[in-house]
Amino acid sequence: MKTFLLPLAVAAVGIYSLLPFLWFVLASWKSPAQLTAIPPVIVPEFHWGFYRSAIVNYGLLGYIENSAIVAAATTVVSIAIGALAAYALTRFHAAWLRWYLLVLLCVSMFPQIAVAGPVWRILDALGWLNRYPGIIVAYISFSLPLAIWILSTFFKELPYEIEEAALVDGCTRAQALRRIVLPLAAPGIFTAAILVFIYAWNEFFFALIILTSPPLQTLPVGIALFPGEYTIPWGELAAASAIATLPLIALTLLFQRRIVRGLSAGAVKG
């Protein structure tokens, strides 16, 4: 009975989770008449007009470009700094390091609205409002603790003896990190990078208050602010949402094994 119920429960949860995504994908393929039909039409006509309208009339490609630049820069900087910080936390033993990780966890739990005012004032003083560096720095401040936590967990599982042997053979600490530790930590680095990228790609609140200029707005803000003269353009919203979700699905499917391996690091000992 258990062998039958478990797959059934997993399938039910999966279908329940996928329903919103499937609904707006189907809505994006409907014709305008089907979209407003009552009762709702389930099987669409595979009408591509909403995709064309979202790209041509609403400038969707510009929003995608902005999100790609911001998410990629955030990921690269967060992983570069996070890898060095995680390496130091796991290799150099000090009493305060354990408390440092706790502080990082507390910082990552702060609600965005609680720090929105100070972040906005700092970026305004630096002249970074409506500029890529402003939103990238804001994203790094929230994604860096996540990257450090994931990488610290993975670095702890790497055998120090391999690194020690490299040091004995003449490698410096930096060379051992670059040639030994980072290649072995690739699954954890991929996991942290993908999670940081997904966060930066989907983030809405800071993008809304920092990038107020339409040519610089990221994908979530751009889609949310799709203008409608008399009605809400549901078809274009559905098409844009489907396009925005595709890169995340592709990344997850492409690196799913690395993600699982990275997230499960440290779960089993011995």
State the pLDDT at residue 228: 66
State the pLDDT at residue 264: 59
State the pLDDT at residue 1: 56
State the pLDDT at residue 81: 93
Q: How far apart are CA 131 and CA 60, in angstroms?
A: 19
- How confident is the model over 38-96, as pLDDT tens digits? 888 888 888 888 999 999 988 899 999 999 999 999 999 999 999 988 888 887 776 67
pTM score, two decimals? 0.85
Among 206, 183, 236, residue whose Cα is nearest residue 32: 236
Among 141, 147, 179, residue whose Cα is nearest residue 163: 179
State the pLDDT at residue 269: 46
State the pLDDT at residue 270: 42
**Number of helices (H), then strands (E), in the chain:** 15, 0
State the pLDDT at residue 177: 82
State the pLDDT at residue 268: 46
Ordered by where they begin, the domains of the chain are 1-47 (no CATH), 59-263 (1.10.3720.10)
**One-letter amino acid identity for 253?**
L
Q: How far apart are CA 26 and CA 267, in angstroms?
A: 39
Local mean pLDDT, 10-residue blocks, the chain (270 residues): 74 84 87 85 84 90 94 95 87 72 77 87 92 94 87 82 81 82 84 90 93 91 81 87 87 72 52
Q: How far apart are CA 185 and CA 157, in angstroms?
A: 9
Retrieve residue 68's tokens: 């790609």
